[in-house]
Amino acid sequence: MSVPEPATSLPRHGDPRRPAPTGGHSPLRILALSSFGVFVVFLDTTIVNVAFETISHSFDTTASKLAWVLNAYSLAFAAILVPAGRLADRYGRKKIFLIGLGGFALMSALCGLAPTPGVLIAGRALQAVFAALVVPTSLALVLPEFPGARRHVAVGTWGAMGAAAAACGPTLGALLTQYASWRWIFLVNVPICAAMIVSGGRILRESRDPHAGGIPDPVAVVLVAAVPAALSYAVIEGPTRGWSSAVVIAAFAGAVVLTPLLLWRSATAARPVIDLSLFRDRQFSLMNLAMLLFSVSFFGMLLSNVIFLQQVWGYSVLRAALAGAPGPLLVAFIARPTSGLAARIGFRPVLLLGGVTWMAGSVLLAAGVGASPHWATHWLPAVLLTGAGIGLTLPVQAGAAVASLPDHRSGTGSAVSQSFRQLGAVLGISLFVAVVGDSGPAQAVGAFQHVWWVFGALGLVSGLIVCLPVKARGTGGPEPAGAAGESAGIPH
């Protein structure tokens, strides 16, 4: 099997591909613009959550159908990430970044004006395609501007913006829904992206890899989305149609049949979407499994919390978002320092602490929260703990996943890891809908408590997995416990 081109072949400091610095290109301005681009696209992975109920009533549709407004975004995002990196390498990172922002703005307008759920779902899928163009190119534009010791600061800032965006989405979505309309959750992206395109045209530096290969295997691109889509459909529809119904069995069968086909294509294609040889690295494999599990619990928990507050406690959209806001605020506060902590002591203790803290918050929700509202004594301590778990986990996972890979493969590895995170989002939302779905008032509290236990356990397991022994590169023994710089995933 031939070795695929990296998803983002990042030029090194001193590399002739890197244009010489000029007075008009400030590294800090480039970092700010690129990080904000990531913030905008990751915001849309969760900003719809708080408006889930409002959109459902607006279209008079069911939770199982509306779940595809969330899942369509994550599925398309996961499938396009690796091809997007290759496009950027071949045709120019600045060009693809700006095209991504422009397309994201247009598809956001389509979502905001959607007359039916079908149009909204289609718009979300197309919105994610362009969002996937922004993510790998944004990091590729930043790294050449921060060589040496300053690079870990840039990566930490970039990663923290993505984590903060995902956590803050429900609060920002609630403000727009309460004071304008759920449609402005999407429409607000249009002027923001337009301003970023104008600014990016002036301050960003174009770069490309003259040796970049072609687009990855298009059949596998489709399969990357089709396998989790079939599984998600089966999980969502199982409770309502019946687990033994023909359509649910067919969906499960489709996922089972397509999975080995995806693996075969990945093993034999000249330019595979998923480079299976990456998974020979034990740390990469364990970290991606941990990322998948934590994403299931994280995205599922975000959706379950805002819906619980509205359905069971009767909170308004805005009040529900404000009730959960302390958690995201804590994430934004600790996300960046967490990367520095991992650089000093290693990623394992940080991620283990994140998993334990997440589980503690989930236990408080599952065991202490009931039908009667007790925000200060029951809800607040729980969301602060889960917020701390997010802040200790999300900024560190992505870097730790690629820390043990060679530099020339870190781009591909990063894109694969981000795809795992998006697939986790699909499974988390599907699991929530399957367990809670359209539960009546009498069954709702018990159903929410069940999903909180499940999501808490998955988060804890994600922290425990990373503690499994990993052989150090170049030796036959276990990795030193304190391999701080390398283990933290901080580029040097």
Q: Clarify whether residues 429 and 319 are in a common domain.
A: yes
Q: Clarify whether residues 376 and 483 are in a common domain.
A: yes
Q: Clarify whether residues 237 and 208 are in a common domain.
A: no
Answer whether 199's CB lies under 8 Å from 30's CB. no
Q: Clarify whether residues 285 and 245 are in a common domain.
A: no
Least confident interval from 103-117, 169-183, 346-360 = 169-183
| This prediction's pTM | 0.77
- pLDDT, one tens digit per residue, over 459-491 is 999 999 988 876 644 433 344 333 333 333 333
Between CA 52 and CA 49 the distance in angstroms is 5
Q: Clarify whether residues 245 and 332 are in a common domain.
A: no
User: Scanning the structure block, which residue is given the tokens 């069911």?
Assistant: 62
- pLDDT, one tens digit per residue, over 425-464 is 888 888 888 887 666 666 788 889 999 999 999 999 999 9
Domain contains 163: yes
Q: Clarify whether residues 222 and 319 are in a common domain.
A: no
- pLDDT, one tens digit per residue, over 269-308 is 877 777 788 888 888 889 889 999 999 999 899 888 988 8
Per-position b or e across 311-323, b if 16+ CB within 10 A of its CB: bbbebebbbbbbb
Confidence bin at 92 (pLDDT 50/70/90)? confident
Domain contains 436: yes
Domain contains 16: no
* 202 pLDDT higher than 70: yes
Domain contains 337: yes
Domain contains 4: no
Q: What is the pLDDT of residue 409?
A: 65
Answer whether 82's CB lies under 8 Å from 272's CB. no
Q: Clarify whether residues 247 and 339 are in a common domain.
A: no
Tell me the average pLDDT across 67-76: 82
Query: In percent, how much of the chain has pLDDT > 70?
Result: 83
Least confident interval from 126-135, 199-208, 234-243 = 234-243
Domain that holds residue 249: 217-272
Which of 438, 439, 433, 435 has the alpha carbon at shortest distance from 453?
Answer: 435
Q: Clarify whether residues 283 and 417 are in a common domain.
A: yes
Q: Clarify whether residues 417 and 326 are in a common domain.
A: yes
Q: What is the pLDDT of residue 479?
A: 42
Q: Which CATH number do you get for residue 112?
A: 1.20.1250.20
Q: Clarify whether residues 226 and 347 are in a common domain.
A: no
Q: Which residue has the higher pLDDT, 309 or 65?
A: 309
Q: Pick from 245, 272, 299: which residue ends a domain?
A: 272
Q: Clarify whether residues 149 and 240 are in a common domain.
A: no
Q: What is the pLDDT of residue 401?
A: 76
Q: Pick from 175, 195, 214: which residue ends a domain?
A: 214
Between CA 15 and CA 10 the distance in angstroms is 10
Answer whether 398's CB lies under 8 Å from 482's CB. no
Domain contains 77: yes
Q: Clarify whether residues 331 and 286 are in a common domain.
A: yes
Number of domains in the chain: 3
Query: In percent, how much of the chain has pLDDT > 90?
Result: 22
Domain contains 6: no
Domain contains 327: yes
Q: Pick from 230, 256, 272: which residue ends a domain?
A: 272
